[in-house]
Amino acid sequence: MLKEFKNFIMTGNVIDFAVAVIMAGALGAVITGFVSKIAMPLIGLVTGGVSFSDKFWTPGDEVYKTVAAAKEAGVAAVEYGAWIDTIISLIIVGFVMFLIVKAYNKTKAPEPEAAPAGPTAEELLTEIRDALKK
């Protein structure tokens, strides 16, 4: 059983999957850093200094300056700004993955064109019939 497990683990698919998971985690960290440190400040600059990460809503009439202050007071805070950051991150991740897959597809050898379909059985039989009639 141990030998079978070793063979299973050492197959290319499992190792490829492990590498893909590790690379996805690293890529996710890079993109999260890009979104929070570069993209969102630029978006804030374009929108007149608005920082989405600071945007939240609390039920009731009480106004809190920060999410931390609302949480400290025991009030539920809907952090829609963090959700907007997450959506922007998702869009960027999707775009980066699109670019990676597009670049990968360019490296693959083109598939050979399918051979043209031959005559159907009915066409062959018709041809034989016509040849016999002559």
pLDDT in tens, 67-104: 888 888 888 888 888 888 888 878 887 887 888 889 98
Question: In angstroms, rounded to a whole number, what is the distance separating the alpha carbons of residues 134 and 123?
Answer: 17
Question: In angstroms, rounded to a whole number, what is the distance separating the alpha carbons of residues 23 and 121?
Answer: 52
CATH code for the domain defined by 2-108 = 1.10.1200.120
Identify whether the C-beta of residue 73 lies closer than 8 Å to the C-beta of residue 61.
no
Q: Which residues pair with 78 in a beta bridge?
A: 57
| pLDDT tens readout for residues 108-119 | 877 778 777 888
Helix ranges (DSSP H) in 35-79: 40-46, 67-72
Q: What angle do CA 8, 14, 19 make, to 5 degrees?
A: 150
